[in-house]
Structure 1
Amino acid sequence: MKTTYIKLSLSAVLLLGIYSCKKGESAVSSTERADYTVADSAAVTTSDSVSSAATMKVKDKQFIKTADVNMEVKDVYEATISIEKTVQDLGGFVTNSNLHSNVISEDTYNTSSENAMLVKKYQTENTMQVRVPTEKLGELLTLINDKKLFLNSRTINAEDVTANIKYAEMESKRIKKTGENIGQLKANKDKVKLDNDNMAEGNLQQLANMDTTDNIKYSTIDIFIKEPKLRIAEIAITNTRNIDNKYKFNFIYDAKNAFVEGFYLIQKIAVGLITIWPLILILGAIFYFLRKRKFTKPESAKIPEQ
């Protein structure tokens, strides 16, 4: 009886140990799954985020932001239309769009006596420059990224121009003060020149300020897109070789033209002879004189016969 009790006690202890291990493994698995979920979520968030340079804001700092994107897309024309529409929807505008196709090869194949097929192998690309409100730069880059097949490169620059703005303000004050000092001078030629030079400097400073303000408000993005593989265009055309052979020679027409040209040639020769009639008259007179002189030689000049 005692032995049976001991066996039952050992069995109970073993069962409790196994249950505890299973429970611990289940807790560990649940914790690991939670950790993996958090990690995956963080990875998705990181991949979907835009560079901090595009959305960066620092208190008491002013930035001029620019970006350069080079990528491959499925269809350059469709991507171009989509990007231009997106830029417009974001309150921006396109400053340049140069879409063109580079023809790699061009061959003509005759398919019949009248028809032929022109086969072109080409690659389409586009170089664009767009400008959008700076606060929309990150959004635009995200939308452009959705069009890519492969991203070759993307560069984002944020230039700190806070010091430049402060310096421009000081320069504006200096130019204004200089103008007040010039106004106190006596009127003469030197004063007019000084005032003119100061106004010109003030205008240039205002232009620089306007340019800086515009560049801060609107970001400039240079975009280069191309298709990764060659495209083939098949264009139905006329068999020009057969047409050339058909009209290359026409005997009746060419014979008629030759007869007319010969008649015109005779007329040109006659007109030419009439033009040089003095020369012909002189040559005729010389020939007549020499011929007459030959027949009037004295008999004594002749060699006697033996």
Structure 2
Amino acid sequence: MKHLSKLCLALLLFGLVFACKQADYNAEATAATESAAITADSTVSAKNNPTKNLEKKELERKFIRTADLKFKVKNVAKSTYAIERIVEKHGGFITFSDLKSNISEHKLTQVSQDSTLETTRFTVDNTITLRVPNTQLDTVLTAITKEVNFLDSRLIKADDVALQLLSNKLAQKRMTNSQKRLEKGIDTKGKKLNEISTAEDKVLEKATESDDTLLKNLSLEDQVNFSTVTLYLYQKETIKNELIANEKSINAYRPHIGLQIWDSLKTGWFMLEGIIAFVVQLWAILLIAFLGYLAYQKRNSKQK
């Protein structure tokens, strides 16, 4: 009897343990089922709403990288040509280059009767703006440092514009949808001419805003793809001395005195010829004056 009671108690304990394990197993199975359902719902939701995936992809880092450098070189012209070759080699291009000489002093010193020493003090500099692929920016900057004799400054910036690009795309999408709804409303409900005209103006306004947003995004994407680098190159002041020949004075080309006297005589004779010719042109007046004089003399003789 005693052994029977112990056996019953053992069976009861075993049943309780089995029931607890079964309950735990059912709970785990339920949790796994719910988790799978949630995962499936999330997958279906992601498939049904690709905008979230697009937004997540658009939020990847997108940097507009720029660089500004100022440095001294041995020869600005040679360094400019070297930099242009480096940029072309790495798929970039030059957008601005201003190579010039700045004269600080210009002096002439006569060293002999027919020679003059020309002294010029000047500096040469160049401002270059270039665009290179974003992935080649570091390589190009490293290659340019070979031309640097003394580095004054070096500034590199990276601005993340991923959010701005995404904002512009979403705004463009909203404006496009609004434009389509307006066009549909015009086709289906537009009756009066003034109503259609007002709706058309709104459609044009939406289209213009959409185009402006698209252009802004294209500009940002161009700046992301191609980095902008501004370089200022200069070299130490240079002195150039050049010996130049003096130009002959105008006095060296003056004729001698005999030729000047002969020219004066010819000039006087030409003047006399001109006077005689002028007097001859007045022969009619002189003739009338002479005849008047004769008539006057004849009249006076009769009176006497």
TM-score by length of 1: 0.61
Mapped partners of 2:97, 2:211: distance in 1: 32
After superposition, what is the alpha-carbon deviation per residue over 1:215-249, rounded to whole angstroms, capped at 9, x for unaligned?
0000000000101x211223343313x435535x5
1:103 Cα deviation after fit: 0.6
1:260 Cα deviation after fit: 6.0
Mapped partners of 2:136, 2:264: distance in 1: 75
| 1:177 match | 177
| 1:302 match | none
Mapped partners of 1:129, 1:257: distance in 2: 69
After superposition, what is the alpha-carbon deviation per residue over 1:127-153, rounded to whole angstroms, capped at 9, x for unaligned?
000110011111111111121111000
Change (3 A) 1:180 1:122: same
Q: Secondary structure in 2 aligned to 1:94? A: strand
Answering whether residue 236 of structure 2 is matched by residue 195 of structure 1, we say no
AA matched with 1:127: T
| 1:34 match | none
Map 1:35-114 onto structure 2 (within 5 A): 60-114=60-114
1:115 Cα deviation after fit: 3.4
Whichever of the two has the greater Rg, that structure is: 2
Q: Secondary structure in 2 aligned to 1:61? A: coil
AA matched with 2:182: I
| 1:225 match | 233
Change (3 A) 1:151 1:191: same
- Aligned counterpart for 2:216 among listed residues 208, 213, 226: 208
Change (3 A) 1:177 1:123: same
AA matched with 2:241: E
| More helix per residue | 2
1:258 Cα deviation after fit: 12
Moved more, 60-69 or 106-115: 106-115
AA matched with 2:218: M
Mapped partners of 2:174, 2:255: distance in 1: 87
Mapped partners of 1:94, 1:230: distance in 2: 26
After superposition, what is the alpha-carbon deviation per residue over 1:195-218, rounded to whole angstroms, capped at 9, x for unaligned?
222222222112111111110000
Change (3 A) 1:192 1:238: farther
Mapped partners of 1:151, 1:88: distance in 2: 23
Mapped partners of 1:250, 1:219: distance in 2: 71
The answer for unaligned runs of 5 or more in structure 2 is: 1-58, 279-304
Q: Secondary structure in 1 aligned to 2:249? A: helix
Work out the percentage of aligned pairs sharing the same amino acid.
Answer: 26
Mapped partners of 2:60, 2:221: distance in 1: 15
Change (3 A) 1:243 1:170: same
AA matched with 2:109: Y
The answer for unaligned runs of 5 or more in structure 1 is: 1-58, 272-306
Give the superposed CA RMSD.
3.1
| 2:246 match | 239
